[in-house]
């Protein structure tokens, strides 16, 4: 099993909750009550989109096929 990093954009909704979309993976739209829930739903939606492409022989988005040369890591900084 491989992991792929994609960027998502999370926006607050006027009626409450959050909406996630991605320029990396067209069709990814996820809505949740909290940011954490929205991210979790976005991960599930992204996985289903990629699995569907693989299952149907559809091409994956260009960004997802290329090996990542950069690794994103979290760091803790006191400001």
Contact between 20 and 28 under an 8 Å Cβ cutoff? The reply is yes
Could you tell me if 18 and 31 are in contact, meaning their C-beta atoms sit under 8 angstroms apart? yes
The contacts of residue 20 (CB under 8 Å, 6+ apart) are: 8, 9, 10, 11, 28, 29, 30, 31, 32, 38, 39, 41, 42
Q: Look at the chain and report how many structural domains it folds into.
A: 1
Structure tokens at 65: 């096929």
66 vs 7: which has the higher pLDDT: 7
Residue 27 domain flag: yes
Q: Is residue 57 part of a domain?
A: yes
Domain-located, residue 74: no
In-domain check, residue 31: yes
* Residue 24 located in a structural domain: yes
Q: Are 7 and 22 in contact (CB under 8 A)?
A: yes
Tell me, yes or no, whether 1 lies in a domain.
Answer: no
In the structure, what pLDDT confidence band is assigned to residue 79 with cuts at 50, 70 and 90?
A: confident
Model confidence pLDDT, tens digit, residues 6-57: 889 999 999 999 999 999 888 999 999 999 999 999 999 999 998 898 899 9
Domain limits for position 24 = 9-65
């Amino acid at each position: 099993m491989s992991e792929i990093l994609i960027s998502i954009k999370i926006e607050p909704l006027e009626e409450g909750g959050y909406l996630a979309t991605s320029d990396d993976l067209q069709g990814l739209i996820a809505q949740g009550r909290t940011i954490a829930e929205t991210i979790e739903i976005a991960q599930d939606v992204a996985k289903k989109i990629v699995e569907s492409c693989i299952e149907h022989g559809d091409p994956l988005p260009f960004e997802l096929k290329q090996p990542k040369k950069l690794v994103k890591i979290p760091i803790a900084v006191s400001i």
